[in-house]
Structure 1
Amino acid sequence: MNNHKSTAQYNWKGRPSETIQYWHQQVRCIDDLSIQDLNPKKKIGLLGYAVDEGVRRNQGRVGAGAGPDSIRKVMGPMAYHLPKNLNILDYGDIFGEGSSLEELQKSTEENITKLLETNHFPVILGGGHDLAFPHGMAALQFTAAKNETLGIINLDAHFDLRELNNGQGHSGSPFLQILNSTKAQNKKCEYLCLGIQRAANPSSLFETAKTTGSWWMESEDCTLENWSSVKNTLDSFLSKVNKIYLSIDLDGFSSAYTPGVSAPSPMGFSPDFALKVLEYLAKSKKLLTMDVVELNPAYDNDHSTAKLAARCIEFTLRKLWE
């Protein structure tokens, strides 16, 4: 089974410059996924999850498999403000042709684990939100080995705590899968979702959130005007965990900002609110790994969704290294 493809260098391009001024000049593409940078110095590892099957199983509109390359193309021309000596390595994509979702998730978990173990800060580009299951399990195993508690913070309109479909995971089930695995393995994990929309989550999912001990804030409370309450929730959550896995589902934003997603909604939080949360988490010094999911380029007018995804990534990394 060969479910990996390296990133073509033409996906990282932008204005020419004699000095490093743009992202495309700093990113180095790695052809072989098995070769990890073993330098103990902290670095950034990009990995794409070019997979649609979980969205299809969850009855969403497919197309998120093209998300990783779309994000790369808009990041390349972006101005670069991180340290010039910081290694940023693009390890290509896990992709879905000829493999089951479960096989792809196993490969994804293994490779994110390698990134964490070799002192990368992983940035995983989706892809459907089923990515969260292998990503979260990799982070959980990594923190558990250090006897640390993992916190998962999900910026999303949906809990993604749905039951399996015919025994199979999908883009709506990853956090229930993680929490069930955590309980079965007697590991430590907390889950917080910011941006929940009642119209997108039936009452049964609120009950599941309660029974699993999940935390959440609803979309109408996720505003800058209500920041003191959001901050109190974040502070309470952060006090219970050692490390954070951050997942940004682009459908948590209003479709005015993110038309190109698997499940668009006219409601949702604003970019200003999301950036406030991202800065707060970066400054907490507990952020371990992150992903951005559910970008569907087929519906992305003027690449606005991809650009917002790229800005969220760039902003978080810049605040991490300040």
Structure 2
Amino acid sequence: MTEIRIIGAPSDLGQGRRGVDMGPSAIRYAGILEKLTRLGCEVKDLGNIDVPMLEMHTVKNEKLKYLDEVIRVSEALYSSVKKVVEDGHVPIILGGDHSISIGSVAGVASKHRNVGVIWFDAHGDMNTEESTPSGNIHGMPLAVALGYGHKDLLDIGGFTPKVKPENVVLVGARSVDSDEVRLIRESGIKVYTMAEIDRAGMGRVMEEAIEFAGNGTDGIHLSLDLDALDPMFAPGVGTPVNGGVTYREGHLAMELLAASNRLVSVDVVEVNPILDNRNRTAEMAVELVESLFGKTVV
């Protein structure tokens, strides 16, 4: 029986559109605990970590907005995830904006020092203080995991880098800044753009992604940004990009990852109920997580 622990990280400190802090509540309301339990998983919800209220703080550095507060959230999430993985459970971390992955990846890597990562995202998340066009830290977490960025972000958990580039795969990319392209090439991570998914098909892409992320590693962490999906299926995200992953492609990706038996953790991020239509995006997130943990048609 898979033993799952749910951790909420209701942070909107890492991006510029309000509302994503309500993502964990929306995903819970969509029935994630009950539906995973029906699949035969043993699930406990550990509640939310404490997150500073954005209105109570000011931006000190326009290139790293709310840096001190993001560090506090990352450290708190690191500690919570670290305990879950040390206890032998699978953490599902509910965001929140994608900056929370700084803490979630650090927590997983504290035990699984050789963890592979599949980053399911429309964006590169490979900006740094020097390259960011917005100063929003949710555009930086993959760079941080790989050892690029501000020292205080890199030092979460007391070690850097958190992952090896040869075991990191970005799937679904279709909106990447020019400076991110340079860092992606320098880092050597594997990237599957939507054009490559169109040509090869999601099945082949995910089989290769699982091979890259799982080759000689302690398992795979999935970072699931809902903006990887086309806005037709996931309208409630802060930075939607047309031409994304379809409903069936998303489920196929999760099904193949489930079948690999390599998953050790997952974070689900960027669900913004304020921008959503009747909680469709949170419901989509829960459906994908169900497929990730073994739900099939028959």
| Alignment TM-score, normalising by the size of structure 1 | 0.76
Is the Cα–Cα contact under 8 Å of residues 222 and 263 in structure 2 kept in the other structure? yes
Give the count of matched residue pairs. 268
Q: Structure 1 residues 185 and 172 mapped into 2: Cα distance closer, same or farther (>3 Å)?
A: closer
Match of residue 174 from structure 1: 141
Structure 1 segments of 4+ aligned residues over 3 angstroms from their partners: 76-81, 165-169, 184-188
**Helix, strand or coil for the counterpart of 1:309?**
helix
Structure with larger Rg: 1
Is the Cα–Cα contact under 8 Å of residues 128 and 143 in structure 2 kept in the other structure? yes
**Helix, strand or coil for the counterpart of 2:139?**
coil
> Hey, what's the Cα distance between the residues in 2 that align with 1:309 and 1:174?
20
Summarize the alignment of residues 75-86 of structure 1 with structure 2, pairs less than 5 Å apart. 75=31, 78=35, 81-83=38-40, 86=41
How far did residue 258 of structure 1 move?
0.9
Q: Structure 1 residues 103 and 80 mapped into 2: Cα distance closer, same or farther (>3 Å)?
A: closer
Percent of counterpart pairs with the same letter?
25
Q: Structure 1 residues 210 and 225 mapped into 2: Cα distance closer, same or farther (>3 Å)?
A: closer
Is the Cα–Cα contact under 8 Å of residues 15 and 136 in structure 2 kept in the other structure? no
| Alignment TM-score, normalising by the size of structure 2 | 0.82
Q: What amino acid maps onto 1:262 in structure 2?
A: G
**Helix, strand or coil for the counterpart of 1:258?**
coil
> Hey, what's the Cα distance between the residues in 2 that align with 1:124 and 1:296?
15
Match of residue 107 from structure 1: 76
**Helix, strand or coil for the counterpart of 2:266?**
strand
Match of residue 203 from structure 1: 178
CA-to-aligned-CA distance 1:92-131 (integer Å, 9 cap, x gap): 1123336822111101000000010111110111100001
| Deviation larger for 203-212 or 293-302 | 203-212
Are 1:126 and 2:129 matched, yes or no?
A: no
Q: Structure 1 residues 204 and 141 mapped into 2: Cα distance closer, same or farther (>3 Å)?
A: same
Structure 2, gaps ≥5 residues long: 57-67, 148-153
Q: What amino acid maps onto 2:14 in structure 1?
A: G
Summarize the alignment of residues 49-60 of structure 1 with structure 2, pairs less than 5 Å apart. 49-56=9-16
Is the Cα–Cα contact under 8 Å of residues 126 and 184 in structure 2 kept in the other structure? yes
Match of residue 44 from structure 1: 4
How far did residue 221 of structure 1 move?
2.4
> Hey, what's the Cα distance between the residues in 2 that align with 1:82 and 1:250?
22
Q: What amino acid maps onto 2:138 in structure 1?
A: S
How far did residue 42 of structure 1 move?
4.9
**Helix, strand or coil for the counterpart of 1:122?**
strand
**Helix, strand or coil for the counterpart of 1:310?**
helix
Summarize the alignment of residues 141-290 of structure 1 with structure 2, pairs less than 5 Å apart. 141-144=110-113, 149-164=114-129, 170-180=137-147, 181=154, 185=160, 189=164, 190-197=167-174, 200-223=175-198, 226-227=201-202, 229-230=204-205, 231-290=207-266
Structure 1, gaps ≥5 residues long: 1-40
Q: What amino acid maps onto 2:220 in structure 1?
A: I
Q: Structure 1 residues 107 and 193 mapped into 2: Cα distance closer, same or farther (>3 Å)?
A: same
Is the Cα–Cα contact under 8 Å of residues 42 and 119 in structure 1 kept in the other structure? no
Q: Structure 1 residues 247 and 140 mapped into 2: Cα distance closer, same or farther (>3 Å)?
A: same
| Deviation larger for 99-108 or 303-312 | 99-108
CA-to-aligned-CA distance 1:134-162 (integer Å, 9 cap, x gap): 11111112112xxxx21110110011010
Q: What amino acid maps onto 2:129 in structure 1?
A: L
> Hey, what's the Cα distance between the residues in 2 that align with 1:166 and 1:226?
32
CA-to-aligned-CA distance 1:253-307 (integer Å, 9 cap, x gap): 1111111101012221112112111111122121100011000000111211011
How far did residue 164 of structure 1 move?
2.8
> Hey, what's the Cα distance between the residues in 2 that align with 1:187 and 1:177?
8
Match of residue 31 from structure 1: none
2:21 corresponds, among 65, 70, 94, to: 65
> Hey, what's the Cα distance between the residues in 1 that align with 2:128 and 2:36?
42
